[in-house]
Structure 1
Amino acid sequence: MPLYHYRAITEDGRVVEGEGEFASLNDLTLKLSSQNLILISAKEVKEKDKERGKGISISFKISLPFGGVSYRDWSLITRQLSVLIASGVPIVEALELIAEQVSNKKLKEALLEVSKEIEEGSSFHAALEKRRDIFPEFIINMVAVGEETGELDLVLRRTSEYYEKLAFIKGKIKSASYYPTFVLLFATIIVWGILTFVVPKFADIYRSFGAELPLPTQILLNVSRALQENLPYILSFIVVFAFIFTTFYKNSYTFRKAVHNLLIRIPKFGDIFLKSNYALFARTFSTLYTSGVSIDRAIDITARVVGLVPLKEALEEAKEDVLSGKALWASLQKTNMFPRMVIAMIRVGEETGNLDEMLSSIANFYEEEVDRAVEGLISLIEPLLIVFLGTIVGGILIALYLPIFKIGELIAR
Structure 2
Amino acid sequence: MKYFIATVLARGKRESLPIYADNKKDALEYAKIKSTGILIKVVEATEPLDSQFIRFKRDLFQNFKKKKIKPDFIIAAIRQLAVMTNAGISIYDSLSEIASASDDEALKTVFSKLADDINSGHSLSASMENFRYELGNLTIAMVHLGEKTGNLDDALYSLADMLEEIRSNFIKFKKAMAYPRNVMVAMAVAFTILISYVVPEFKKIFESLNAELPIPTQILLTLEHLFNNYGPYVLMSLIFSFITFRYFVNNYKNFRFGWHKVLLRTYLIKNIIKFSTLNRFTLVFSELLRAGIPIAEALDTSIEMIDNLPLKEKLYSVRITVEKGGALNKGLKDTQLFENMIIQMVSAGEESGTLDTMIQKVAEYYKMRFDAIIDGLSEAIEPIMLFFMAAMITLLALGIFLPMWDMGNALQGR
Q: Same fold (TM over 0.5)?
A: yes
Q: How much has 1:117 moved relative to structure 2? A: 6.0
**Cα deviation digits, residues 10-51 of structure 1 (max 9, x gap):** xxxxxxxxxxxxxxxxxxxxxxxxxxxxxxxxxxxxxxxxxx
Gaps of 5+ in 1: 1-64
Give the alignment of 1:331-342 within 5 angstroms. 331-342=331-342
Counterpart in 2 of 1:159? Answer: 159
Counterpart in 2 of 1:33? Answer: none
Change (3 A) 1:277 1:175: farther
Gaps of 5+ in 2: 1-64
Counterpart in 2 of 1:77? Answer: 77
Counterpart in 1 of 2:52? Answer: none
Paired with 1:190 and 1:334, the residues of 2 have a C-alpha distance of 50
Say whether 1:187 aligns with 2:191.
no
Counterpart in 1 of 2:312? Answer: 312
Q: How much has 1:68 moved relative to structure 2? A: 0.7
Paired with 2:256 and 2:227, the residues of 1 have a C-alpha distance of 32
Q: How much has 1:200 moved relative to structure 2? A: 0.6
The amino acid of 2:78's aligned partner reads T
The worse-fitting range, judged by mean Cα deviation, of 293-302 and 217-226 is 217-226
User: Residue 118 of structure 1 contacts residue 124 of structure 1 at CA under 8 Å; is this kept in 2?
Assistant: yes
Counterpart in 1 of 2:96? Answer: 96
Change (3 A) 1:149 1:205: closer
Q: How much has 1:133 moved relative to structure 2? A: 6.3
**Cα deviation digits, residues 69-113 of structure 1 (max 9, x gap):** 255543322212222333454544433332233223343244245
Counterpart in 2 of 1:348? Answer: 348
Say whether 1:366 aligns with 2:366.
yes
Counterpart in 1 of 2:282? Answer: 282
Q: How much has 1:404 moved relative to structure 2? A: 5.3
User: Residue 260 of structure 2 contacts residue 308 of structure 2 at CA under 8 Å; is this kept in 1?
Assistant: yes
Paired with 2:307 and 2:137, the residues of 1 have a C-alpha distance of 14
User: Residue 69 of structure 2 contacts residue 104 of structure 2 at CA under 8 Å; is this kept in 1?
Assistant: no
Counterpart in 1 of 2:323? Answer: 323
Change (3 A) 1:214 1:126: closer
User: Residue 169 of structure 1 contacts residue 276 of structure 1 at CA under 8 Å; is this kept in 2?
Assistant: no
Q: How much has 1:259 moved relative to structure 2? A: 2.9
Paired with 2:250 and 2:117, the residues of 1 have a C-alpha distance of 33
Change (3 A) 1:200 1:127: closer
Paired with 2:157 and 2:258, the residues of 1 have a C-alpha distance of 37
User: Residue 321 of structure 1 contacts residue 331 of structure 1 at CA under 8 Å; is this kept in 2?
Assistant: yes
Paired with 1:106 and 1:237, the residues of 2 have a C-alpha distance of 30
User: Residue 169 of structure 1 contacts residue 367 of structure 1 at CA under 8 Å; is this kept in 2?
Assistant: no
Q: How much has 1:114 moved relative to structure 2? A: 4.0
Counterpart in 1 of 2:393? Answer: 393
Say whether 1:381 aligns with 2:381.
yes
Change (3 A) 1:194 1:319: same
Paired with 2:120 and 2:223, the residues of 1 have a C-alpha distance of 69
The amino acid of 1:302's aligned partner reads S
Name the structure with the higher helix share: 2
The percent of aligned pairs where both chains have the same amino acid is: 29
The worse-fitting range, judged by mean Cα deviation, of 119-128 and 157-166 is 119-128
The amino acid of 1:224's aligned partner reads E
CA RMSD of aligned residues (A): 3.5
Q: Give the alignment's TM-score, normalised by structure 1.
A: 0.70
Paired with 1:127 and 1:202, the residues of 2 have a C-alpha distance of 64
